[in-house]
């Protein structure tokens, strides 16, 4: 499989290492220094693009991939208010987009545990749910895309909560998400259900970028011959 990497920072380099290890080729590397090289001719050299940039450039990159007829796997976060634009472009061009706030296989299993736990806790209003996410200081968006995904899963399954806030909850129907940015910090997400009697917590901690990179390459393998919009749940068959 021939891969175009859009975004060649720490994550892009980790993805490249996994892709090469699995016998794939990286035929194009696009970053801020050579963005003009992302042309139709260069896109045609690749079977799939993996896009890890930032909230300010992600949508433009994804739309360009769709325009070029290049399946794209995006892991950029902080841009989902523009999701409808991507969805419309994908439908109009019969494109392929895989999007996940987190490509780690472990995190996606954690998502499923989170949903089940919220369902189990729904009948027990004495337990209040809150969340904490910790990342390195270079992470620009807060709360993290993974934390937002976790919160939205809880909202779907816990009837007493109606929205999340990136602050202390001022209303009992809110889920408080506390964001911490410290160095060094492995990406950590904790969901906590607390009552006067006891506390139940689930935590996922990412020790390296390897898990995210492996999942992104797996998603690219999945996307290379498909049409439509998919997520990591589709990739893993969950």
List, by residue number, the catalytic residues. Answer: 135, 139
- Nearest of 236, 133, 125, 229 to residue 172 by alpha carbon: 125
Instruction: Determine the 3-state secondary structure of 121 from DSSP.
Output: helix
Burial (CB < 10 A; 0-12, 13-18, 19+), residue 158, is buried
8-state DSSP, 37: G
| 94 token code pair | 């019969």
Read off the DSSP letter of residue 55: T
Distances (CA, A) of 205 to 37, 74, 158, 191, 211: 36, 21, 24, 12, 11
Question: Strand 128-135 vs strand 163-165: parallel, antiparallel, or unpaired?
Answer: unpaired
Residue 8: CB partners within 8 Å, gap ≥ 6?
16, 29, 30, 31
């Amino acid at each position: 499989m021939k891969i175009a990497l859009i975004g060649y920072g720490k994550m892009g380099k980790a993805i490249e290492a996994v892709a090469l290890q699995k016998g794939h080729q990286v035929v194009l590397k696009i970053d801020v220094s050579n963005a003009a090289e992302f042309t139709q001719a260069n896109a045609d050299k690749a079977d799939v693009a993996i896009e890890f940039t930032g909230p300010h450039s992600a949508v433009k990159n994804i739309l360009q991939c769709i325009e070029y007829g290049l399946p794209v796997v995006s892991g950029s976060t902080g841009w989902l208010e523009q999701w409808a634009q991507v969805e419309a472009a994908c439908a109009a061009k019969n494109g392929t987009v895989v999007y996940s706030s987190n490509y780690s296989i472990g995190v996606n299993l954690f998502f499923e545990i989170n949903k089940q736990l919220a369902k189990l806790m729904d009948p027990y209003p004495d337990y209040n749910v809150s969340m904490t996410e910790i990342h390195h200081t270079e992470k620009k968006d807060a709360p993290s895309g993974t934390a937002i995904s976790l919160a939205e899963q809880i909202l779907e399954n816990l009837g007493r909560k109606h929205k999340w806030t990136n602050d202390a909850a001022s209303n009992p129907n809110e889920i408080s998400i506390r964001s911490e940015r410290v160095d060094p910090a492995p990406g950590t997400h904790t969901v906590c259900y607390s009552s006067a009697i006891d506390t139940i917590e689930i935590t996922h901690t990412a020790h390296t970028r390897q898990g995210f990179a492996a999942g992104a390459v797996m998603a690219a393998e999945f996307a290379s011959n498909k049409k439509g919009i998919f997520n990591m749940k589709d990739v893993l068959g969950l």
